[in-house]
Structure 1
Amino acid sequence: MSARPNAALVLIEFQREWLDPEHGRLNHLVEDRGMLDTAVDGAAAALAVARAHGVPVVHVPLVLTPGAPELESWTPARLGLRAAIPKAGTWIQGSTGVEFAEAFRPAPGEPIVRGRAGASAFAGSSDFDLILRRLGVTDLYLAGFATHVCVESTLREAHDRGYTAHVIHDACAAFTRAQQEHVREHVIHHFGDETDAAAFAASLDSAISAR
């Protein structure tokens, strides 16, 4: 697989909520710590090579106002994450958890998605699609958290919107290994494909050499 010249690396929720062992509430819920460490290393490698080759990097945080009214939409938030997030008080603007993890802070000029309100990077009044279209991106390389929630939701919607989506599986993590493997074995192939950080780097090297 060769990375196309109209590709972008998409970093989903590389925020302290996930990556700060001291202040990250979701970090404390990750059972497979080795998988999380692998994902951080894989994402850092993918980020470094994307920047080195001038591949666009798009950052997809989740930032909500107190009480998370963005999740109410036109109906009350009774079930799922729409109900759980306001109760947990996670992802609230101004809190430590919404800050980007130090190793994944956006570089100058790298777009940060605004207005997202939901599991998918496209959800709510997100400007994710507009950013991708402005950049001329057709292929998305997805990294982030959690594999079985926000990465999977973004993968599915990217497919339905006509994008070609690739999951960098060793740059993603779920809470458990079983959740991770379920997505890899039973979900990804319906909506895109998977790669790893080393193959992503090699594909960029190959694409540059072929020019």
Structure 2
Amino acid sequence: MTAVSAMPTVSATSARPNAALVLIEFQREWLDPEHGRLHHLVEDRDLLDTAVHGAAAALAAARTHGVPVIHVPLVLSPGAPELASWTPAVLGLRAAIPKAGTWIQGSPGVEFAEAFRPAPDEPVVRGRAGASAFAGSSDLDLILRRLAVTDLYLAGFATHVCVESTLREAHDRGYTAHVVHDACAAFTRAQQDHVREHVIHHFGAETDAATFAATLDAALGTR
């Protein structure tokens, strides 16, 4: 048994109804072969395909049970001045994103992928500027508090960057956070496994899409 398979998972009996599914960057930048620049940087295509199918299953389960679905895109102004903040963007993604020209408002890449477009009643986070879904002037925390959500189920891209960053900050803000690992993808399997083996258990727990659905069945029944 590997360290990954030994990671803690969430049992169906532990579910609480004050949960939300948080979908991070289900945008064409990741999921569109024609317009997605990041799509072509994913080395493990099976990992990405698994994440898309897992996320679709988790999304269907959440909608079936009336569990809040919160969409977290990244949308920046031309030149990404939001990332400069009060200091110049010199290193890391703050410097790389403006150079790459990704995530720019009005570009095809920032549009939601067709299968993950928000329903009319599903909140879309605004003001995010950074790796974490809580970064910048993001209104994610306000949305969660308004909906009385305490348990977050995280899905999205990339596992080792934005999902991990959100997991860490959710923990520090007092949320109970779970990573739906088969609804997330990194660029490589090694990156994905590192997060699962060495990161998640410090800040929350991992589960999978099937267990997430079973969790909702046990806690809420069929609506």
Q: Which amino acid aligns with 1:205?
A: D
Q: Which residue of 1 aligns with 2:106?
A: 94
Whether 1:156 aligns to 2:168 is: yes
- Letter of the structure 2 residue corresponding to residue 43 of structure 1: A
Give TM-score, length-normalised by structure 1.
Answer: 0.98
Provide the C-alpha distance between the structure 1 equivalents of 2:126 and 2:90, rounded to a whole number of angstroms: 24
SS class of match (2:37) = coil
Alignment root-mean-square deviation, CA: 1.1
Give the equivalent residue in structure 2 for 1:5: 17
SS class of match (2:218): helix
Q: Output one character per residue of 1:120-169: Cα deviation in whole Å (capped at 9) or x when no partner.
A: 00000000000000000000000000000000000000000000000000
Residue number in structure 2 paired with 1:46: 58
For 1:50-61, what aligned pairs fall within 5 Å after superposition? 50-61=62-73
Deviation at 1:3, TM superposition (A): 2.7
Aligned residue number for residue 187 of structure 1 = 199
Give CA-to-partner distance per residue, 1:74-123, whole Å, 9 cap, x none. Answer: 00000000000000000000000000000000001100000000000000
Partner residue in 1 for 2:178: 166
Any residues of structure 2 matched to 1:122-137 within 5 Å, and which?
122-137=134-149
1:175 equivalent to 2:174? Answer no
Aligned to 1:109: 121
Q: How far apart, CA to CA, are the structure 2 residues paired with 1:93 and 1:7?
A: 30
Cα drift, residue 209 of structure 1: 3.8
For structure 2, the residue ranges without an aligned partner over 5 or more in a row are 1-10
Distance 2:16 2:29 in 1: 32
Out of 204, 208, 211, which is 1:196 matched to? 208
For the residues of structure 1 that align with 2:60 and 2:15, how far apart are their CA atoms?
A: 15
Q: How many residues align?
A: 211
Aligned residue number for residue 30 of structure 1: 42
- Aligned 8 A contact 2:65 2:221 in 1: no
Distance 1:79 1:134 in 2: 35
Q: Which residue of 2 aligns with 1:120?
A: 132
Gapped runs of 5+ residues in structure 1?
A: none
1:141 aligns with 2:153: yes
1:58 aligns to what SS in structure 2? strand
Percentage identity across aligned positions?
88
